[in-house]
Amino acid sequence: MTAPVTQERKGEKWRITFLMPSTYTLETLPEPLDERVKLRETQERLMAALKYSGTWSRQRYKEKEALLIGMIKERGFTQIGVTIWARYNPPFMPWFLRKNEVLIPVERGPQ
């Protein structure tokens, strides 16, 4: 499996993120050829994740997002950020072999 590509809504736009393995640092990554591509390091965070396979349809993503939100609430966590859609395979991968995740930043509720 490759590092995921994520999509995160930012207002009317989408942020596309290519996550790099931890063996890389900002100093060892190649410089982007396109000035619109920015390299940055982000802080670690606690994420709820729901893995699923199959198509990349928006309807399927929304179904999985709703399921994960319910699971977060049931387990006493609180969503603290926007939902992220992670996809792990190239577009030419047959739909039934694709690996996807819905990720939601969370924090633990009062114990």
Digitized pLDDT (tens) for each residue of the chain, 111 residues in all: 456 777 777 788 878 888 787 788 889 998 999 998 888 888 888 999 999 998 878 899 899 999 999 999 999 999 998 898 888 888 888 989 999 999 999 998 765
Q: What single letter denotes the amino acid at residue 5?
A: V
Whole-angstrom Cα distance, residue 98 to residue 32? 27
Domain boundaries, the chain: 47-78+85-111
Query: What mean pLDDT is reported for the chain?
Result: 87
Global pTM reads 0.72
